[in-house]
Amino acid sequence: MRVPFVSKLALLCAAAMPFMAGTAARAGEITGAGSSFAAPIYGAWAAAEKAAGGNVTLNYQSIGSGAGQNQIIARTVDFGASDAPMAASKLEANGLLQFPTVTGAVVAIVNVPGIGTDQLKLSGDVLADIFAGKITNWNDTRIASANPDLKLPDLAIAPVHRADGSGTTFVFTSYLAKVSPSWKSEVGAASSISWPGGAGARGNDGVAATVHNTVGGIGYVEYAYAANNHLTTTQLKDHAGSFVEPTMAAFQAAAKGADWDHAENFAVDLLDTAGQGAWPIMSATFVLLPTAPKDTARSADVIRFFNWAYTHGNDTALKLNYVPLPASVETKVRAAWTHVAGAPKL
């Protein structure tokens, strides 16, 4: 019997970001689309900005990074949102500025009888071979050897992956390619790949729901979805070789290893960073904004909204288990905004 699954966070975001298709835009309204990874924080920022007396209404469609990139290229929204950074040549060809908003973690979630939150330990190469279909049972010796204190069931593993073009998939598969040579050569990393097997689901919520309803399931989601829906996460092996739990301390340890100074178009690499206790699957999430927008007033409102988030939104981000950007990066982003036609004076 399938158990109904409702994401409280998704409902919150839906309330904070009403879709107003078919109605005329009112003053101060901006539209965005893309990353489901970023949807929780953008929804929370929109609600907080409005509660603080702001006059910008955000209508955001959580449709996946690939679709978000396509919509901003087509100029059907005011901004796109993507966890997969866009290549410099594509940014230039489409007249887009890319900037980060927060960093966050991707985690593995499981539905294994008798296994509680953060009890199961998985290394990157084992995780890769699970999704490659090379490890097919939960009591496989490679899993059991890392978990001698757990009673692992004789149960088939049921991998669940994103079915839509997804920045979360880009982050997850990029991590697998970084830690597993066989995954890199046989499968690769992209927002949408040809999966060796398993079931597909749309959005972070879809993956979370499918794993929740599948005994033996394993999937990957943005951490806020796992935390707010009380899903069973796992430990992962860090770059130093120790198993770490998904905690804010581990996320912040990973963020400290970011080399923003050498990140072209802010496309920083946060995967498997060095340092004891650093969570190995971290990513920035990005906004894509036209440098020559069709509507300069709406574009200016996009900049005002994210400037408000930089200035007032760090506590909200931390509550949702995102890591705010360093102040130095926010300063660089504000400088980059000045190259957008009609950018407001901040």
Same domain, 227 and 289: no
Same domain, 196 and 277: yes
Q: What is the pLDDT of residues 198-214, one digit of tens each?
A: 999 998 889 999 999 99
* Nearest-angstrom CA–CA distance, 229 and 88: 37
Q: Which domain holds residue 96?
A: 8-103+284-337
Query: Looking at the 3D structure of the chain, how many domains does it have?
Result: 2
Q: Give the pair of three-digit tokens for residue 298.
A: 């709406």
CA 87 to chain centre: 18
Instruction: Supply the pLDDT for residue 20.
Output: 36
Cβ contacts of 201 within 8 Å, gap of 6 or more: 160, 161, 162, 163, 207, 209, 210, 219
Type of residue found at 34: G
Establish if 344 belongs to a structural domain: no
Judge contact between 97 and 340, C-beta under 8 A. yes
The DSSP secondary-structure symbol of 95 reads: T
Establish if 3 belongs to a structural domain: no
Q: Give the pair of three-digit tokens for residue 147.
A: 């978990």
Same domain, 119 and 200: yes
Instruction: Supply the pLDDT for residue 256.
Output: 87
Establish if 256 belongs to a structural domain: yes
Q: What is the pLDDT of residues 133-167, one digit of tens each?
A: 999 999 999 999 999 999 999 999 999 999 988 88
Helices (H), the chain: 8-16, 39-51, 65-73, 88-93, 124-131, 141-146, 167-179, 181-186, 203-212, 223-228, 248-256, 296-312, 314-319, 327-337
Same domain, 148 and 265: yes
Q: What is the pLDDT of residues 10-67, one digit of tens each?
A: 444 444 444 333 333 345 899 999 998 899 999 999 999 999 999 899 999 999 999 9
Judge contact between 275 and 256, C-beta under 8 A. yes
Same domain, 131 and 252: yes
**For residue 275, what pLDDT band results from cuts at 50, 70 and 90?**
confident
Q: What are phi and psi of 124, to 5 degrees?
A: -60, -40
Torsion sign, CA atoms 322, 323, 324, 330: negative
Q: Give the pair of three-digit tokens for residue 158.
A: 């049921």
Q: What is the pLDDT of residues 104-128, one digit of tens each?
A: 999 999 999 999 999 999 999 999 9
Name the average pLDDT for the chain.
91
